[in-house]
Structure 1
Amino acid sequence: MASNKETFGKTLIFVFIVCLVCAALVSISAVGLKPLQTANRLLDQQTKILEAAGLLEQAGKDIKGTYGKYVEAKMIDLNSGDFVEGNTDMFDERRDSRDMTKSSKPKNDIAGINRRADNAVIYLIKDDSGKVTTVVLPIIGSGLWDLMSGFVGLAPDLNTVRSLVYSELKETPGLGAEVLNPNWKALWPGKKMFDEQNNVAIKLVKGGAKAGDTYGVDGLSGATLTSNGVENTLHFWLGDEGYGPFITKFRTQLRDGGM
């Protein structure tokens, strides 16, 4: 009987030691891999930004070099539209949105994000002479299953679309996930976000936009909720509770020769 107890006790000690060793290995791996994970996340983000800027093909395999040469990341205060200081590489809109001291709840949350960070990072794409050719704005909003994040590239008028690029998402393959389809992304260049009264006018049209419709893009077939999510996301982020104040100030500075 005593021998059985002794054996059981040794087994518990052995299991406990194995658990400690495994936990230590997992912790060491997590700490060791974190810099690599951060670098990969940043590289993926830079790749998407270059795609939104129309520079991905030019970049080839030199993503970091091309990004460093042509892209200037700037942090802005969304409420005022002013540039502010901040670490643009480490900024995480969703992380800040969960901090009550760094975020606010939108009055008209059509994007379905619950809370919006007070700051944002925008990307000024410049040519070899230093002139701004494209402004890339990060966006995030609800799809069918989860939040969808991406980037919209706009000409310096902050109205004419260069591109709309979404990151990997959880939408249904063949339906909502068609936002990643190159054929659908090719429908966006040249579209206008704002009408002549400066209201956000871009829309996704169920059944397809009519030829010559400046503000219309074909909706995603069989994915009405995802299409609505894309449209609502753009209306939110280009509106007064999103980049609206920044857009107004940027256009003024550009007109006055300040950019």
Structure 2
Amino acid sequence: MSKKESPIKTIVVAVVLSLVCSVVVSFAAIQLKPQQELNKELDRKRNILIAAGLLEQGGTQSEIDELFKQVETKVVDLSTGEFVEPPKDFNQRKFAKDPETNKVLEGKEDVASIKKRSTLANVYLVRDGQTLETIILPVHGYGLWSTMYGFLALKPDTTTVVGFKYYEHGETAGLGGEIENPTWRAIWPGKEVLNEQGEPVIKLVKGSAQNEHQVDGLSGATLTSNGVENTLVYWLGEDGFGPFLERVRAGEI
């Protein structure tokens, strides 16, 4: 074997190429990050607007930004239901991972199988002047394969659904993935998620729903359907947005 074909030379070339590729990828990631963050923020606004019934689908950036002017973003302390001054760069998912800003959930308390949650949460309000029209709550819980993230929009009575929109999940396409199907989403408006005592009563059932507290489950996706129900039971309950919704019913919001 000649010196030009030595294993050492091959290794050196491979290392140099790896370093060059790493630098290129890192540079591209840094350059693209601002645009990626803008796209994520635009997608968040779009899904909130869809859940609230203010947008059908799609929408340009200017249209979405204009419509989102109707939406007031607040941060609530989940233990008290009271609004708090948002921490700098507040990110609910990051707070859920930090021992200083999260609550660890165990046993039956963790009905949505999320393990930890942030002590603070975003809520979104739509008003007509001083009159509250819609409340949009971010919710998440585990399905069959993944944590499913969505927005639930309620009327000021805190029980009647305006809309429900999932935007991120890893469920099976054609089965659990049908949580994104507009046809399934269309059966949610008008459903009632709480009883007169403010307790979660929504159920996903096999076959056809028989009353306003029931929603048709996803065909062939029982565990995903259970995950949707458990998600709402948790986030509408006392350990989720329950204290906040109680304040809304009392006319304090």
Task: Please report the TM-score for the alignment, with normalisation by the length of structure 2.
Answer: 0.91
CA distance 1:131–1:203, change in 2 (3 Å): same
Provide Cα deviations, 1:166-195, integer angstroms capped at 9, x if missing partner.
013211122111111111111111111111
Partner-residue secondary structure (3-state), 1:56: coil
Q: Does 1:119 align with 2:120?
A: yes
Task: Quote the residue 1:109 is aligned against.
Answer: 110
Return the offset for 1:197. 2.6
In structure 2, what is the Cα distance between the partners aligned to 1:58 and 1:223? Answer: 25
- Cα RMSD over matched residues? 2.1
Residues 59, 66 of structure 1: 8 Å contact kept: no
Residues 161, 189 of structure 2: 8 Å contact kept: yes
In structure 2, what is the Cα distance between the partners aligned to 1:153 and 1:84? Answer: 21
1:170-189 equivalences under 5 Å are 170-189=170-189
Task: Quote the residue 2:215 is aligned against.
Answer: 217
Task: Quote the residue 1:235 is aligned against.
Answer: 233
In structure 1, what is the Cα distance between the partners aligned to 2:146 and 2:58? Answer: 31
In structure 2, what is the Cα distance between the partners aligned to 1:118 and 1:21? Answer: 43
| Corresponding letter in the other structure for 2:44 | Q
CA distance 1:44–1:59, change in 2 (3 Å): closer
Partner-residue secondary structure (3-state), 1:226: helix
CA distance 1:17–1:215, change in 2 (3 Å): same
Residues 106, 241 of structure 1: 8 Å contact kept: no
Deviates more, 1:109-118 or 1:92-101: 92-101
In structure 1, what is the Cα distance between the partners aligned to 2:173 and 2:180? Answer: 10
Task: Structure 1: state its 5+ residue gaps.
Answer: none
Task: Quote the residue 2:158 is aligned against.
Answer: 158
| Corresponding letter in the other structure for 1:37 | Q
Return the offset for 1:58. 9.5
Return the offset for 1:143. 0.5
Task: Quote the residue 2:40 is aligned against.
Answer: 41
Return the offset for 1:209. 0.9
CA distance 1:33–1:59, change in 2 (3 Å): closer
In structure 2, what is the Cα distance between the partners aligned to 1:18 and 1:172? Answer: 38
Task: Please report the TM-score for the alignment, with normalisation by the length of structure 1.
Answer: 0.89
Return the offset for 1:12. 3.5
Provide Cα deviations, 1:8-63, integer angstroms capped at 9, x if missing partner.
54444333322221111111111111111111111111000000111114994311
> Percent sequence identity over matched residues?
47
Task: Quote the residue 1:226 is aligned against.
Answer: 224
CA distance 1:87–1:102, change in 2 (3 Å): closer
Partner-residue secondary structure (3-state), 2:168: coil
In structure 1, what is the Cα distance between the partners aligned to 2:204 and 2:13? Answer: 62
CA distance 1:220–1:57, change in 2 (3 Å): closer
Deviates more, 1:186-195 or 1:41-50: 186-195
Partner-residue secondary structure (3-state), 1:170: coil
In structure 2, what is the Cα distance between the partners aligned to 1:177 and 1:155? Answer: 26
Q: Does 1:167 align with 2:167?
A: yes
